[in-house]
Amino acid sequence: MAAKTPAREILPRPVRMRRVMESLSGSTAQARRWLDSWAFGRKHALRGAAACRIATGLSVLGLLLSNLSSRDLWVGQASIWAEPARVISRFPELALLKGVSGDILTLVYVVTMLAALAFVGGWHTKAANVITFVGFIAIVGQNPVVGAQSDNLVRLTLLWMLMMRTAEHWSLDCRRRAHTTEDDRESRAREDDVLPVWLSTGLHNIGLFSLATQAILTYMAGGLDKISQSEWRHGTALYYTMQLPEYRPFPGLSDLLSQNRVVLASLTYAVLLVQLFFGPLLLNPVTRRLVLALAVAVSVFFAVVFALPWSSLATIAVTSLFVADTTWQRIETGVLRGARPAGDWIVDRGYAIADKVDDARYRFVLPVIDRVRETFSRR
C-alpha cells in the first residue's frame, strides 16, 4: 500500500508575511554588504583608468597640436564668423577666451597642451587633469560650429577622472613614489591622499562606475540614432559618408571600399552591432572580449577612413576601462619583456656610436686642430 504524502503545511498569513519580510531583509542586507565591499573595499580597474588617462590626454594633445597653426581662426579673434552660432548656443561654456588677444589665446593654448602632456605622462596628475579640463572647455567651447560629440565625451571623461586615481600605474608620479624612502613615501602619501582611504576609494569607484555608465550610454545613444535612419538600416550610410570630400583622406581607399558593397554593408552593420549591443554583450566574458575588439576595430576604421583620429582615440580611451586588470597586466608584462632587448640594443648601439665618434675625433679632428695650432705658432 503506497504511503501517503504529508499534506503541505498551510501557515497563517501573518507568519507567511513575516517570513517573506525576513527573506527580503536578508537579501537587502547581503546586497548592501556587497555594495559596501565593492565601493569601499579596494580601488578597481586601476590599470584601465591609467590607460584611459593616457589615451584621453593624447586625444586632447593631438587635437590641439593639429589645430595649432589655425587656432586664431578656430577660437581666436578671427573666429568672428562663428558668432551667430555662439549667440543661439545654450550649452554652458567657460567664456575665458571671449574677446582676448592673440597672445593670451596662445598662452592658454600652450599651457593646455603642456598640461595634457603632463597628464599623459602622469606628472602631478591631478593638477594636470584640472588644467587640461578647464583649458579644453575654454578652447573648444569657443566655436560650437566645429564642435563634435567626441568633444563632449572628452570633457565628461576628464570630469569623472577628477574623482579617480588614474596615476597608480604607468605614470611619473608612480615612479617617483617607488623611488622614495619610507619616510618620504609616508609624507608623500599624506600629501597625495588628503581624504581618508575609504573616501578616496569610494570616490574612485564611483567615478569609475559613472564613466563606464557614460560610455555604455554613449554607445547606445549613437546606435539608436543611427538605426532610426534608413541609410543605416539599408547598409548604405558609410558609402554616402565616403563620398564627402572632408571624409576622404585617402581617396583610393575610399573608392576601393565603396566599390565592394558586401564589405561596406558588413562594416555598416558591424558599427550598429557594436553601438546597440555594447552594454549587454559586456555581461559575458566571451562576448565582452568580442565586443571590445570590435569596438576598437570600428574606432580605428573611423580614424583611418574618415580622418577622425582624435575622436576615435577618445572613444578607445573609455572603451579601455572595460578591459580587465589581469589582461592589462599581461600586456604590460609582454611589452616590458619585448622592450628589454630593444632597450639593450639601443644602449649597445649608443655605446658603439660613441666609440666611433671618439675614434673619428682622435683620427681626424684632433690632428687637424694640432696642425692649425702649429701653423699659427710658426707665424
pLDDT for residue 177: 77
* Contact present, 292 and 279 (Cβ < 8 Å): no
List, for residues 144-184, the tens digit of each pLDDT value. 888 788 888 999 999 999 999 999 999 998 888 776 655 55
**How many other C-beta atoms are found inside a 10 Å radius of the C-beta of residue 87?**
8
Average pLDDT over every residue of 280-291? 94
- The lowest-confidence range among 190-194, 242-246, 315-319 is 190-194
User: DSSP string of 276-299?
Assistant: HSHHHHTTSHHHHHHHHHHHHHHH
Q: With the C-alpha atoms ordered 67, 73, 77, 81, is the resulting torsion angle positive or negative?
A: negative
* Contact present, 116 and 132 (Cβ < 8 Å): yes
**140 within a domain of the structure (yes/no):** yes
Which residue range is the domain that position 124 belongs to? 45-177+195-330
pLDDT at 42 over 80: yes
List, for residues 356-367, the tens digit of each pLDDT value. 665 676 676 667
Q: Which residue has the higher pLDDT, 96 or 200?
A: 200
Q: Quick one: how far is CA 231 from the chain centroid?
A: 30
**170 within a domain of the structure (yes/no):** yes
Average pLDDT over every residue of 51-62? 97
Q: Which residue has the higher pLDDT, 146 or 217?
A: 217
pLDDT for residue 93: 64
pLDDT for residue 183: 52
Domain count of the fold of the chain: 1
**221 within a domain of the structure (yes/no):** yes
Average pLDDT over every residue of 293-301? 95
List, for residues 117-131, the tens digit of each pLDDT value. 999 999 999 999 999
Q: Which residue has the higher pLDDT, 351 or 256?
A: 256
**364 within a domain of the structure (yes/no):** no
Q: Residue 206's closest CA among 40, 47, 48, 328?
A: 40
**133 within a domain of the structure (yes/no):** yes
pLDDT bin (cut points 50, 70, 90) of residue 246 is confident
pLDDT at 217 over 90: yes
pLDDT bin (cut points 50, 70, 90) of residue 16 is low
Compute the distance between CA of residue 104 and CA of residue 114 in angstroms, rounded to an integer. Answer: 15
List, for residues 317-339, the tens digit of each pLDDT value. 999 999 999 999 999 888 888 76
pLDDT for residue 188: 53
Phi-psi map region of 235: left, alpha, beta (phi>0 left; psi -120 to 50 alpha): left
**283 within a domain of the structure (yes/no):** yes
**278 within a domain of the structure (yes/no):** yes
pLDDT at 346 over 70: no
Q: With the C-alpha atoms ordered 56, 58, 64, 67, is the resulting torsion angle positive or negative?
A: negative
pLDDT at 370 over 60: yes
**252 within a domain of the structure (yes/no):** yes
